[in-house]
Structure 1
Amino acid sequence: MLPHANITKLVPGLYEAQLAADKAADDAAVAAGLDPLLVELVKMRASQLNGCAFCLRMHARDAMERGESADRLAVVAAWWESQYFSPQEQAALALAEQVTRIGDLHTGAAPAVDIEAALDEKKVAAVIAVAIAINTWNRIAIASHYPVAP
C-alpha cells in the first residue's frame, strides 16, 4: 500500500497542471466530435483497470446524468462480450485499454477491434488524450487515498 500523501494539497502545481491537461483532453474530444457518453465510458474503463473507486463513482454518476443506462454501465468491464456498444465505442474502449495497459501491451491479447475503421485520426488522438488524462487522475486519486464512502 502506498503511504498516505495528499498530492492534491502537497503538490498543488501538479494538480493545477492536471486540471489543464484534463481540459485539453476534453476539448480535443469535443473538437473531434466524440459523444460525451463515449468519453465517460473511456474514463470508466480506464478507472476500472486501475482500480480507482473515486473516479469510477464520479464518472458513473456523470454518465448517468448524461443519460447512460445502468445495463451498459454494468457491462463496461466486459464490453467485448456484449452487444451493447457500437463499433466506435468498441474502438474507443479498446484504445483506452491499450493506453491504460501500455506496460503490458505485449503480454496480453487485446480484443480484435479495427480501431482505424471506426475512429478517424482526430478521434483516435482525442481518445488517447482522454485516456492519458484519466489515467493520471486515477494515479493522483489512488496515491492520495481520496475517500470513497456512501
Structure 2
Amino acid sequence: MRMNYFSASPAGLKAMLDLQNHVHKTAEDGELGDGLLALVYTRVSQINRCAHCIDMHTKDARKAGETEQRLYALSAWRETPFYTERERIALAWAEAHTLIAGRGIDEALFNATREHFSEKGLTDLTLAICTINAWNRLAIGFAADAGNYQPA
C-alpha cells in the first residue's frame, strides 16, 4: 500500500464507514439484503478493476452463501440464467451509475428499477453503489494490497 489512508484522515474515513454502516443496516432491515449488496459491490469493483475490493467482496459473498458459479459469471451476468430479474435490474443500475460519465441514467432503466425497488430501496441501493465506487477509488489510488482480506 502506498500509504495508510485510514490513519491519514481518520475523520474522513469514519464518515465513509458511517455511510457504509448505514447501507448495511438498511440492507439487513430492508429490501436490499446482503446477498444483493455483495453482487453489486463485486460487479462495481470488477468494472473499476479494484483487485483489493474484488478479493474482499467475493470472500464475503462466499461466506454469506453465494455460489462459485454466480461469482464466476458475474462479469457476464447478462448472458447467463443465474440471476433473478431483481438482481439483473440492480446490476444494470450499478453499472449505469459506475459508468455514468457522458451517459447519464436513461428513463427506461429508472422505470425498470422502480418496478423492483421502493423509493427508499432505490435510494439505499444508489448509496451502496456510491459507497463502493468511493472505496474502489481509495483502494486503487493508494494501491491497497489484494489477497490478505479475511472475512470476519
Bin of the TM-score, shorter chain as denominator length: 0.7 to 0.9
Shift of 1:5: 4.0
Classify the secondary structure of the residue corresponding to 2:73. helix
Name the structure 1 match of 2:87: 89
The equivalent position to 1:17 in structure 2, one of 3, 15, 18, is 15
Shift of 1:25: 1.6
Whether 1:141 aligns to 2:139 is yes
Please give the alpha-carbon distance, in whole angstroms, between the structure 1 residues aligned to 2:81 and 2:56.
25
Deviation string for 1:110-141 (max 9, x for gaps)? 98x92222222222112111111111111111
Q: Partner letter of residue 67 of structure 1?
A: G
Whether 1:29 aligns to 2:27 is yes
Contact 2:52-2:147 within 8 A present in 1 as well: no
Please give the alpha-carbon distance, in whole angstroms, between the structure 1 residues aligned to 2:29 and 2:92.
21
Q: Partner letter of residue 74 of structure 1?
A: Y
Figure out how many residues of one structure are paired with residues of the other and give that number: 145
Matches within 5 A, 1:1-150: 4-106=2-104, 114-149=112-147
Contact 2:89-2:113 within 8 A present in 1 as well: yes
Contact 1:42-1:96 within 8 A present in 2 as well: yes
Contact 1:18-1:133 within 8 A present in 2 as well: yes
Please give the alpha-carbon distance, in whole angstroms, between the structure 1 residues aligned to 2:26 and 2:101.
25
Please give the alpha-carbon distance, in whole angstroms, between the structure 2 residues aligned to 1:86 and 1:105.
25
Structure 2, unpaired ranges of 5+: none
TM-score normalized with structure 2 length: 0.85
Structure 1, unpaired ranges of 5+: none
Classify the secondary structure of the residue corresponding to 2:83. coil
Classify the secondary structure of the residue corresponding to 1:102. coil
TM-score normalized with structure 1 length: 0.86
Q: What is the percent sequence identity of the aligned residues?
A: 31
